[in-house]
Structure 1
Amino acid sequence: MLANTTRALTEVQREQWAVDGYLQLEGALSPAEVDFFSKQIDRVRTQPGYEPAPSRLPRGHYAWVDHADPNPEAFMDRRDLLNYHQAFIDLIDRPRVFDLILDLMGPYIQFSMSQAIVRASTETFPGYTHTDGGEAQRAIRVTETSRPLAVKVMYLLTDVTEPDSGNFTIFPGSHLRPFPERAERIPNPHMPGAVPLLGKAGDAYVFPHAIWHGPSPNRSGKARKTILYNYCQMFMRPYDFGTPYATLFERCTARQRRLLGDLGHDFRPGDFFYAPEDQVALMTGTA
């Protein structure tokens, strides 16, 4: 279904991606890693960083804040995690997961965004459904035989084994059809066709920008913690940084540097459209 792939995907996964529009990976993180990243998220919320600012900025924009609510069970939405710990950098091209990303997207990709979301348990949050990438990207979909424009990996740091636990909820197959624009038709997590995914801490979901998705209500009595990493084609703008992420380069491998915008030379017209000659070898690890 996807041509010129590295064959990391099984045939079952290829079919699920083409038809349903998502994958679920069991045990993408080990129990020790789940515990480590969960504690890191608790630490991150006490430090400065980028958070939503709905009273000051439009939807989808983030502002620099001193800290989030220090309660580890409270809501948090923190962007740009890579500076907080080396482990967040190394998660960019984690083996097995990144192999699938390469197989789905091809080698001409970059890292775009890192995000930690904690969904508090509450009776007031109804959940919501959306697509990624803003209004313009919502209108762009690809066929089942095309490379995706942008793909996210969501790592579960908590068990989500019952509905209404802040589940990642999707409409299977919706990546191939338009998202409703009329207010009275906007999908929600409890509409027919919505599927709340169940999973264990350490599982991961892989999904494209165009699939209809979002969190369901969380009435489980405990917060749902997740880490999300976004990858996009090189010709697109990253979300977290406007120029190559040079402040991190000394802490990165050659492949990670490339994913963060290091093309090995100063900018010239055509960069990020026509890749360096070693792009394929660097991404696939054969350089």
Structure 2
Amino acid sequence: MLANTTRTLTEAQREQWAVDGYLQIEGALSSAEVDFFSRLLDDTVRTAPGYEPAPGALPRGHYAWKLPDQNKDAFMDRRDLLPYHQAFIDLIDRPAIFDLILDLMGPYIQFSMSQAIVRASTDLFPGYIHTDGGQAQKAIRVSETSRPLAVKVMYLLTDVTADNSGNFTVFPGSHLRPFPERAERVPHPGMPGAVPLLGKAGDAYVFPHALWHGPSPNHSGKARKTLLYNYCQMFMRAYDFSGPYAAILDRCTPRQRRLLGDLGHDFRPGDFFYAPEDQEAVMTGA
């Protein structure tokens, strides 16, 4: 059993997290919020250049500044959402979800990454399975009684109520054991043990970096839209920014500023390993 200062998960959720490695939170966003964020992706994020994948120019996992396909149902993978709208900033520590993050990870954490993905309906994309965090983290797993290193929240902005709809697909328990990844057996969503999850727009999935997961093919006839927010322990590097996120700190609450790397002073050796004395109070809102 994890020793927590914030108790938010039910015992059933705590057991599922330890055994299966993920949670599904129904109704994390209201229908009005789903519509708002969906329009924001269509009318603001997609219409402006930003950090997008650049296959052939940059390796997988690296992003270039570019304008995506302007078809609202076409593929889009946008990083670094926070500057586009205050609502993206406020989603960082949305109470109903952030309370779960604190329960799972403890208070010595930072925000690491924001991302919007639109998965087009197409016969050309077979889906894929992966872990998060790059080559090194792929081989790092913690026990069921340990704090996770990094946790991601995926918010559904479209209904996913049938298979082959771009489902978030997981291999339950794979966060605790070596997972075969060989040239003759590349992980894919159709492998034995894969579980394609169903959900309604507004639902959220919570999972650690070490869980093998990925999108199934999308043959549904409609695009699947999601938002993803990542949190990691303070001693780790953030994904989207290299230091305190100075460009938006004046739009943030004290807790959001702390999550974005503002420790209240200029950098000195030991920062992010030994947190400020008020870290727990700032994170919990005490």
TM-score range, shorter chain: over 0.9
Please list every run of at least 4 consecutive aligned residues from structure 1 whose deviation after the TM superposition is greater than 4 angstroms: none
Q: Distance in 1 between matches of 2:86 and 2:118?
A: 21
Structure 2 distance, partners of 1:197, 1:122, is: 19
Query: 1:148 Cα deviation (Å)?
Result: 0.2
Matched, 1:50 2:56: no
Aligned to 1:223: 223
- 1:197-248 Cα offsets, whole Å, 9 max, x none, are 0000000000000001000000000000000000000000000000110111
Distance in 1 between residues matched to 2:30 and 2:193, nearest whole Å: 32
Alignment partners' CA distance in 2, 1:113 and 1:179: 25
1:168 is displaced (CA, Å) by 0.1
SS in 1 for 2:248: helix
Q: How many residues align?
A: 285
Which residue identity is paired with 2:48?
Answer: Q
Q: Which residue of 2 aligns with 1:264?
A: 264
Partner SS state of residue 92, structure 2: coil
For residues 264 and 77 of structure 1, the distance between their equivalents in structure 2, rounded to whole angstroms, comes to 33
Deviations 1:17-63 (A, max 9, x none): 00000000000000000000000111201101000011111111001
Deviation, structure 1 residue 187:
1.6
> Are the aligned partners of 2:142 and 2:176 in contact in 1 as well (CA < 8 Å)?
yes
- Give yes or no for contact 2:181–2:187 (8 Å, CA) kept in 1: no
Q: How far, CA to CA, are the matches of 1:94 and 1:209 in structure 2?
A: 20
CA distance in structure 2 between the aligned counterparts of 1:183 and 1:262, rounded to whole angstroms: 43
Equivalence map 1:38-187=2 (5 Å)? 38-43=38-43, 44-65=45-66, 67-187=67-187
CA distance in 2, matches of 1:179, 1:238: 25
Name whichever of 42-51 and 212-221 sits farther off: 42-51
Q: Deviations over 1:56-105 (max 9, x none)?
A: 1111100111x211111000000000000000000000011000000000
Structure 2 gap segments, 5+ residues each: none
Task: Output the CA distance in 2 between the equivalents of 1:250 and 1:6.
Answer: 28
TM normalised by structure 2 equals 0.99
CA positional deviation for 1:4 = 2.3
Structure 1 length-normalised TM: 0.98
Hey, what does 1:32 align to over in structure 2? 32
Distance of 1:89 and 1:278 partners within structure 2:
22
Q: Which residues of structure 1 form unaligned runs of 5+?
A: none
Alpha-carbon contact 1:22-1:207 (below 8 Å) kept? yes
Could you say what secondary structure the match of 1:130 adopts? Answer: coil
The aligned amino acid for 1:61 is H
Number of the residue aligned with 2:19? 19
RMSD, matched Cα:
0.7
Kindly provide the amino acid, as one letter, of the partner of residue 46 in structure 2: R
Q: Which amino acid aligns with 2:70?
A: P
**For residue 57 of structure 1, what is the amino acid of its counterpart?**
L
Q: What is the match of residue 242 of structure 2? A: 242
Give the C-alpha shift of residue 131 in structure 1.
Answer: 0.3
